[in-house]
Amino acid sequence: MRIEEVQREGRALRFKVVGEDHTLCNLLRKTLYEDENVEAAAYRIEHPLLSVPEFYVRVKRGKPEEALLRALKRLEERLGKLEEEFKAELKNFKVPP
């Protein structure tokens, strides 16, 4: 994954997320909206096979990067818990004969 800044205007940031698709972008968008400081969070992919996702985030105060970092931290914690739960369940997994 690579992040490329497209445009910055005050409390808003538009950037491309090279090498990713709807999976990460939708998860990030939903997580950003949990932050009361986030006014807008959206992304678009013009063509799923040919386009790079372009993400937009605007905050009420501060820098949009701060909201992105908070959202990524929450995602990291949740995914860590998911990994632990999944590994625990795999220990009990039995393949039918």
Full residue range of the structural domain in which residue 87 is found: 2-91
Residue 10 lies in a domain: yes
For residue 84, being part of any structural domain is answered with yes
Q: Is residue 97 in some structural domain? A: no
Find all residues with CB under 8 Å of 4, minimum gap 6, and list them.
Answer: 15, 16, 18
Quick check: 47 pLDDT over 90? no
Q: Is the pLDDT of residue 97 over 90?
A: no
Question: Does position 59 have pLDDT exceeding 90, yes or no?
Answer: yes
CATH number of the domain enclosing 53: 3.30.1360.10
Q: What pLDDT is stored for residue 94 in this prediction? A: 79
Answer whether residue 36 is part of any domain.
yes
Are residues 28 and 20 in contact, defined by beta-carbon separation less than 8 angstroms? no
Instruction: Tell me whether residue 24 is in a domain.
Output: yes
| Number of C-beta neighbours around residue 67 at 10 A | 24
Residues 6+ apart with CB under 8 A from 2: 17, 18, 19
Domains in the chain, number: 1
| Global pTM value | 0.86
pLDDT the model gives residue 49: 81
23 closest CA partner among 49, 67, 53: 53
**Residue 67 lies inside a defined structural domain of this protein:** yes
